[in-house]
Amino acid sequence: MSGLGRVYSVGLNAFAADMIEIQANISSGLPGVTISGNVDASLREAKERVRAAISNSELKFPGTKVTIALAPASLPKIGPGFDVAMAIAVLLASREVSPTKLEGTVMLGELALDGRLRPVRGVLPRLLAARDAGFERAVVPIGNVAEATLVSGLDVGGAQSLSDVVRWLAGDVVLDTVDGERAEIPEPTIPDMADVSGQAAARRALEIAAAGAHHLMMTGPPGIGKTMLASRLPGILPPLAPEEALEVTAIHSIAGTLPAHHPLITSPPFVAPHHSAGITALLGGGTGMARPGSVSRAHRGILFLDECAEMGPKVLDSLRQPLEEGEVRISRRDGTAVYPARFQLVLAANPCPCAPVHDVDCICTSIQRRRYLGRLSGPLMDRIDLRVPMEPPANNALMTEAGEASAIVAERVGAAREAAKQRWSTDGWLTNAEVPGNALRQRYRPPLAALRPLEQALRHGRITARGADRALRVAWTITDLRGGDEPGEDDVVSALMYRDRGGRA
């Protein structure tokens, strides 16, 4: 007996998805299965999963030589997501199934030995690529069906087992589009800004940071509210636009951190790695092709580094490239992975190692204090737009002061963001933080009187050229929050004050 079966699937290398043609050939020779096409270890082991799944689904596995090729061979194939497509290709070659519905169909999924389909990572970016390539249908594990149905223009079916796929090909069943085993779970509630008492300066800085997507650093003694404020930042940010939501969801799907009960991420993500995290955890990595790290999982959201002065200088400096370019590039054995990483960085640090409640009680020497915050290099701090020192609130502030609710602050932030979006719409920028410096200094140059404080700061060496551009961005955000048309001298002075306060200059 001889035969040839052809099925299509989608491969994922970092953030890039490619169509993969899977061919199975049955020929005379000693019984055995050979898989070729630049595959990794999990795919080389797939022959045992495919054989067992076919046999345990009461189907016949060929008793002769079986060759499975994944093309193009030049692309590395990673992960077990090709199992279902390989099994159907083998069954097609042995004439166990009909090819009628395979035209224009892609198949994804890992096979258990008993024939069940296990969910796989990266379904959303794979199916987006399949739709763009002209495919009309997709068969996925039932555990991925909620994520798969986010792709419009593609007929998606979820299968529990290989038997379901075979019966669908025969026209006996219709594949599900809803996973009935997963109950809807409410999204976690974001803490409210009204819980924060006092700290008016820090609250104002947080509002400016949210309105312009600026990077922020808060310094102060422990227990003063740095983490409390940072955790409330997502509650005053506007929801993600539809295209941003799909992009963020795709990254979390690849990383394996996508909530099964809420497949579409519509709120800016909040990622807070531990201060002991290394460069690989922060930027991404791993063997073969690199996986996304914290900076990519925080794309279009917040990356919060608490106790940042406890992190290694090399780890902190590794943030400079993604902060500047909005993406991260990681080279590994199987190639260079490029992931989006346009995040909002929020840093929090104690002023010194001993970190007393009151600064007068500090027992650290001046050299120790300088070395502690000195782990944050000058080039990194030059990329931080807002620096805020925080002091303990007055005794009666905790009992009497009630801050504004997140909903009130979010309304102002939303209005400021909309003003910025309208202003930069012809250039495609969404926030003030994205505007290049040359555009700020030429096409959208504020009046000369407003720029005078900036020129003086440059002349006296208080800021760098990069710092001047960032101060201009903050000045535009302050203008948007007050409803102005262009920055005035007071707006520029306020922006410069945020660069002179807190942390290193």
Chain Cα centroid distance, residue 412:
26
For 333, residues 6+ apart whose C-beta sits below 8 A from its C-beta are 287, 288
H/E element, 344: strand 344-349
Q: Are strands 65-71 and 16-27 parallel, antiparallel or unpaired?
A: antiparallel
Beta-strand runs (E) in 383-464: 386-389
Signed CA dihedral, 322, 467, 346, 301: sign only: negative
Tokens of 304: 């919060």
Cα–Cα dist 125/138, whole Å? 13
* Percent helix, strand and coil across the chain, each to the nearest 5: 40, 20, 40
For residues 55 and 160, give the distance between their C-alpha atoms in angstroms, rounded to a whole number.
Answer: 16
- Six-digit token pair at 496? 């410069």
Instruction: Check residue 137 and give its pLDDT.
Output: 95
Q: pLDDT at position 504, please?
A: 41
At residue 1, the pLDDT reads 53
d(CA 273, CA 276): 8
pLDDT for 395 equals: 56
| Tokens (6 digits) for 446 | 């504020």
Find how far residue 327's CA is from the centre of its chain. Answer: 10
pLDDT at 181: 57
Q: Burial letters for 398-408: b for 16+ Cβ neighbours within 10 Å, e otherwise?
A: eeeeebbebee
Which string of DSSP letters, residue by residue, matches 357-402? SSGGG----HHHHHHHHTTS-HHHHTT--EEEE--PPPTTHHHH--
Q: Are 432 and 480 in contact (CB under 8 A)?
A: yes
What domains appear along the chain, each with residue ranges and CATH number?
Answer: 3-169 (3.30.230.10), 193-500 (3.40.50.300)
What three-state secondary structure class fits 294?
Answer: helix
Greatest C-alpha distance within the chain? 88
Name the pTM for this structure: 0.88
Cα 201 off chain centre by? 30
H/E stretch holding 163:
helix 162-169
Name the β-bridge partners of 3: 26
Q: For each of the chain's 505 residues, which pLDDT tens digit applies?
A: 568 999 999 999 888 899 999 999 999 888 889 999 999 888 889 999 999 999 999 999 998 999 999 999 988 898 899 999 999 999 999 999 988 899 999 999 999 999 999 999 999 999 999 999 999 999 999 999 999 999 999 999 999 999 999 999 999 999 988 765 555 556 678 889 988 888 889 999 999 999 999 999 999 998 888 999 999 999 999 999 999 999 999 999 999 888 877 788 999 999 999 999 999 999 988 776 778 999 999 999 999 999 999 999 999 999 999 999 999 998 877 678 889 999 999 999 998 998 888 878 889 988 888 888 888 998 999 999 999 998 877 655 555 566 789 999 999 999 999 999 999 999 989 999 999 989 988 888 888 888 999 999 999 888 999 999 999 999 999 999 999 999 999 999 999 999 875 444 3
The type of residue at 175 is L
Structure tokens at 487: 């920055």
> What six digits make up the tokens of 244?
């941003």
- CA–CA separation, 278 vs 316, rounded Å? 9
Write phi, then psi, for 214 (nearest 5 degrees).
Answer: -90, 155
Neighbours of 43 (CB within 10 A): 23
